[in-house]
Amino acid sequence: MKKVLTIEHAGHGHWVGDGFPVRTIFSHHSHGQRISPFLLLDYAGPAEFPPSDTPRGVEEHPHKGFETVTIVYSGEVEHRDSTGGGGLIGQGDVQWMTAASGLVHEEMHGRDFTKRGGTLEMVQLWVNLPAKHKKGPPHYQSIQAAQIPVVPLPGTAGIVRVIAGSFGGTNGPAHTFSPVNLWDVRLNAGQLSELAVPKGHTTLLFVLSGRIELVSGESLGNAGLASFDQGDDSIAFKAVEDTKMLVLGGEPINEPVVAQGPFVMNSQAEIQQAIKDYQSGRMGQLVS
Ligand code: MN
């Protein structure tokens, strides 16, 4: 059984643009290399938006050197980018965007969701890229809810939606550039579960809603994050309430992380170059 290293619960939130009230669950700025290959996890909502004629969101901004993974639990996110791509991320869908050499995009509430109003709940995870993949072409994986395999846990403990990596021999649809497991887990109250996770990987457990108790006795509720040591190969917990959580695992990328805003590279010189590239329009622009 992996040992628990830290337990923390997110406090105050902030707005990203005018569409996403988020709590930052972890960030390389505060957590350093021990969350590698991950860089950041923002939890948006759940928040109620009244019907409106004007979509809210985050207007044109760049990304370079890593991937953004958007998981929509409720509501809709519509995106548009400088490669000419775009689309809608609906409930249960995942967008895995590889920014790599750089792009410019916008992320807004979907048009129908804006008109209708309702609850927005989503997660955006930033996954770092190994240095050799930071210069590759930007691209998207639009993963529809129906493409994500659902693996039942033993008994009536719950289910695991395998977004990336593999769980119990079932592979998730997302292609990754380093070994990553990303599992959307739903637990039924009262049940005990033990999940096999790879030895040597960073292992994080993030509770969106509900409550679990780890076998070591710690309790983890809404917006709670547990991190585990790299030794051993399983984590175990009991669902105290019906619980919605993410299990994140990955092989650490042992390379320097130099970041500034939406650019994550390996050196200060590369950051300066990224800023120049963006300012001179080399990351492209949105065509309206
Ligand atoms: Mn973005």
Mean pLDDT by 10 residues, the chain (288 residues): 94 93 96 96 97 96 98 97 92 97 97 98 98 96 98 96 97 98 98 96 98 94 97 96 98 97 98 96 86
The CA 85 to ligand 1 mean position distance, Å, reads: 14
Per-residue pLDDT at 288: 64
Cα-to-centroid distance, 186 and ligand 1 (Å): 27
Give the dihedral sign, CA 187/192/198/200.
positive
Report how far residue 226's alpha carbon sits from residue 208's, in angstroms, rounded to the nearest whole number: 12
Q: How many angstroms does the Cα of residue 160 sit away from the middle of ligand 1?
A: 27
Q: Please tell me the distance from the alpha carbon of residue 249 to that of residue 228, in angstroms, as a whole number.
A: 10
State in Å: Cα 99 to ligand 1 middle. 9
pLDDT (0 to 100) of residue 11: 81
Going from the Cα of 62 to the center of ligand 1, the distance in angstroms, rounded, reads: 7
Question: Using an 8 Å Cβ cutoff, are 41 and 267 in contact?
Answer: no
* Distance from Cα 36 to the centre of ligand 1, integer Å: 20
The pLDDT of residue 250:
98
What is the three-class DSSP state of 269? helix
DSSP letters of 209-243? ES-EEETTS-EE-TTEEEEE-SSSSEEEEEESS-E
Distance 5 CA to ligand 1 centre (A): 30
* DSSP code for 2: P
Cα(216) to centroid of ligand 1, in Å? Answer: 37
How far, in Å, are 69, 144, 207, 267, 268 from residue 172 at the CA level? 14, 12, 20, 32, 35
Contacts of 269 (CB under 8 A, 6+ apart): none
**Closest by Cα among 142, 238, 203, 163 to 5:** 203
What separation in Å is there between the alpha carbon of 231 and the centre of ligand 1?
A: 34
